[in-house]
A and B are shown apart, each in its own frame.
Chain A
Amino acid sequence: MPASRKSRATGPPPPSTTLVLDNGADTIKAGFVTGGKADDAPRIIPNCLARDRHRKTYVGSELEKCRDFGEMAFRRPVEKGFIVNWEAQKEIWDREFFDENAPQKCDPSEARLVLAEQPNGLPALQTHCDQMVFEEFGFASYYRGIGPSFNAYRDIQAIFHTPRTPDTPVDVPAEVILLIDSGYSHTTVTPILQGRPLHPAIRRLDVGGKFMTNYLTRLLSVRHFDMRNETFIANEMKEAVCYVSLDFKGDLEKTWKGTRGERREDFVSGAGIAKDYVLPDSHTTFHGVVRDYDPGGASSRGRKAAVSTEDVLTLRNERFVVPELLFNPSDVGLSQPGLADLVMQSLSVLPIGLWPGLLANIVVVGGNARLENFIQRLQMELLERVPDECVVRVACPENPVISTWLGAANFARHEHVERLAVTKQEYEEYGAGWVARRFSAGLGVDT
């Protein structure tokens, strides 16, 4: 749908440049929409201050220069998905966007900011954000909206590979989607009709990438080496080897060593599940490497790798019990429903007539969506829970990490942004409370 640009009744025309930010807890996704044209992809900036073991501190994208990630410690401005520490956030934004030599230099006084936030934020933190945007950075125009809704501005049927003729119009925003955003801090379920989130049905599971990485770290520390100071390395390992099991009981059985003395056949062979992981030595190698499991290697001794300069871990059930937390958080004592139940809880507050449309249009975004079999498992579990005649379609866009940004960039070119964005003058005239209420009221309904 072509963006129709409208001139405002009062004040100057909207800025022709929009800085689009998906300001995540782990990374910022940042790019521009200029004159109706968006960057192809956002820049991905670590949203942290990181300090290595030599006590050198890296801010944001400086982390690219770091080679040795051993014992890396992090300070993150975003906590639980929300910007909490503005001292750190401002430092990162300044260096990335506003400083003289910033890699994505932007003049806020002549730009609009479209900022994605997590659903169900605390009013005080939202107000802090709005105040910083206008009073400190001085953006000319601004919209803060929840990340899931921005995804509705993508070509959703293309993500589903729905067959269609070239002249079929693309619905933007999509009529109906159920958006699952599984990121660093948590996982949310958001039903969306025509770009409007159905707020009463938004649900959150407090399991995200961080939680899972920490769980892997704990398992490795109990079973292999003390990895507690090696979050970064454990996270790389998680991304390289973890998968969502489609047969949890079976996989668990295959990876059990057996009772005392016994070593079961599947355990010895690895049963196609075991993988060896070579840890970086921090001298010549700085990233871990996955290898096929070598039954003759570290296997039978279990605890320590063979005499070698390499530190090799054999990963077995660690590969799938970690992502399992998304589907069974009670496995670690967290009293929350798993993702499929969470979807059902979300649906349960909606009219049944909406269920088929939502269930047939489930889109999963966020870093955890890259876990192998994530969408298959979700679909499998949902099919067990919905009436037989319901179609369940679950899809993941090609790059789920930048999906929210791509949607927000489309939104920044859609006429909706003109209806929702607030100018600096309006902020100054009506105050932060008005801005917050306006953003939370959203688009309303068009009939």
Chain B
Amino acid sequence: MNNFGVIEIASTTTKSTPGWAYVPDTAPALPAAVHSTSRKRAARNQPALTLSDLSAREETRIRKELEALDRDNPKDVNIPIPPRPGGGSRAQNKHTPNVRKILQSQKSFANHLDDYQAMLALAESNPAAAAALNAAQAKPSTPTTAVSKSASPAPTPASAGGASKRSAAAAKRAAAKEKQEQERKKAQHTPKPETESEKLGSTPPQQAPQRQQQEGDNDVEMSDATASTAQPPPTAPAAQISYPRVSAILPAYAKPPPAAHPGDADPLLVSRVPAFPSDDELRALMTAPPLSYLEARGAWGEEERRYPVRVFCAVCGYWGRVKCMKCGTRVCALDCLEAHREECVTRYGL
């Protein structure tokens, strides 16, 4: 009986066969069990791996496997840009300095991510410098965008040259208008969107100044937005002016839904939920800034971490009920263990 490298894993539902064991498929490597069994193996005069050796091998294997799954090609390839069909080539000398830099960059996504994380870390460790650094990173192009006509680096209203007066005035106007709006809304209170919004949306004379206000406002508002994360109210004046206005952010949900969707047979009756978020809550959500790349990555919480992960036979893909003690690889049964042995010996020696 070949029982090469098998670890018996203690379990109440074990169906014993000489030398190896079936165990419930949900069992992850339980540290205690592995430890005790490897001592058992040691007692049988086998070269025993310590727990840390074993888990280090497993970790390394998984990490390498995940890296391989993430690649575009099995190995690094270098495919240069081929010459143009017909021998033609575009003039290469017209690039701006920004463009030249971008085209020459050989950075990978991982490099860019590292740069970004390093910037965040630095900002955190040195809060004094954080603001300046943040600003520089939020508009990394500023030193070089000077190729454009405007020499002003920061697009704040004050520095935006001719735009400054316009922006300031627009901001004032918008703020006043916002106040008016709020008062009017309070007075109205109930949703009455259709007629009013239509009127506003199709009134051409109003639109020209509106556009200006929007731009000016965005200037003002955005410099705020970079400083603090969620600051929804300032966005309102910018957006409200040129867009059909409604008195609630999600008007359909404020109405009795069945009437609003006469043809909708689906029981999508949101009104059944009592705690519909307030407009303030919605506004905050709808104007919150994007998360960073890593913040958005789905991650396990404490709870998920405790769940056992499923393990599979590395050879045939069935449940991995048996564990190779040399490398921690799981296999389903003896057939596959033998197949694994070949590879295992090649990789780790006898």
**B-contacting residues of A (Cβ < 8 Å)?**
4, 6-10, 49-51, 57, 59, 73-76, 79-80, 82, 84-88, 90-91, 94-95, 99-100, 119-125, 127-128, 130-132, 135-136, 157, 160, 162-165, 168, 171, 175-176, 188, 193-194, 196, 198-206, 210-211, 214-215, 218-219, 222-223, 228-229, 231, 252, 255-257, 259-260, 317-318, 321, 328, 330-337, 341-342, 345, 350-357, 360-361, 389, 391, 393, 415, 419, 426-434, 436-438, 440-447
Contacts and interface: CB of A to CB of B under 8 A. Distances in A.
Interface in B254-274: 261-270, 272-274
Contacts of B226: 437
Given A90-B103, A317-B318, A431 B272 contact: no
Contact of B225 (A223, A426, A441): A441
Interface in B186-234: 201-202, 207-212, 214-215, 218-219, 221-223, 225-226, 232
A54 to B, nearest CB: 13
A162 B315 contact: no
Interface of B: 62, 65-66, 68-74, 77-82, 84, 88, 90, 95-96, 98-99, 102-105, 107-109, 112-113, 115-116, 137-142, 145, 147-150, 152-155, 160-161, 163, 185, 201-202, 207-212, 214-215, 218-219, 221-223, 225-226, 232, 235-236, 238-240, 242-250, 252-253, 261-270, 272-277, 279, 281-283, 285-293, 295-301, 304, 309-310, 312, 314-319, 332-335
A74 B73 contact: yes
B225 A357 contact: no
Given A199-B289, A252-B318, A334-B66, A164 B240 contact: no
A260 B338 CA distance: 10
B68 A218 contact: yes
A391 B268 contact: yes
Contacts of B261: 162, 164, 168
B169 to A, nearest CB: 13
B270 A357 contact: yes
B116 A447 contact: no
Contact of B291 (A9, A199, A351): A199
Contacts of A188: 296
B250 A429 contact: no
B218 to A, nearest CB: 6
Nearest to B279: A447
Contacts, number: 385
Contacts of A317: 316-318
B189 to A, nearest CB: 13
A431 B139 contact: yes
A301 to B, nearest CB: 13
Contacts of A355: 273
B298 A336 contact: yes
A433 B139 contact: yes
A298 to B, nearest CB: 15
Q: Tell me whether chain A's interface is mostly helix, strand or loop, or mixed.
A: mixed
Contacts of B107: 84
A175 B318 contact: no
Given A162-B266, A438-B218, A445 B286 contact: yes
Contacts of B301: 345
Nearest to B305: A335
A438 B218 CA distance: 7
20 contacts: A73-B79, A75-B78, A120-B290, A123-B138, A131-B96, A157-B264, A162-B264, A199-B291, A200-B291, A331-B309, A351-B281, A356-B270, A357-B253, A357-B270, A428-B150, A429-B149, A432-B142, A437-B138, A437-B222, A441-B289
A163 B312 contact: no
Nearest to A447: B249
B66 to A, nearest CB: 6
Contact of B300 (A94, A210, A321, A337): A337
B298 A354 contact: no
B262 A168 contact: yes
Nearest to A302: B316
B249 to A, nearest CB: 6
B315 to A, nearest CB: 7
A79 to B, nearest CB: 4
Given A9-B207, A80-B109, A219-B317, 13 more contacts: A74-B72, A79-B108, A119-B296, A199-B288, A199-B290, A211-B69, A317-B317, A336-B297, A356-B273, A430-B219, A433-B145, A437-B138, A446-B244
A438 B215 CA distance: 9
Contacts of B335: 257, 259-260
Nearest to A316: B317
Nearest to A205: B298
B77 A337 contact: no
A175 to B, nearest CB: 6
A228 B266 CA distance: 48
A51 B266 contact: no
A6 B206 CA distance: 11
A341 B305 CA distance: 13
B245 A447 contact: yes
Nearest to A257: B316
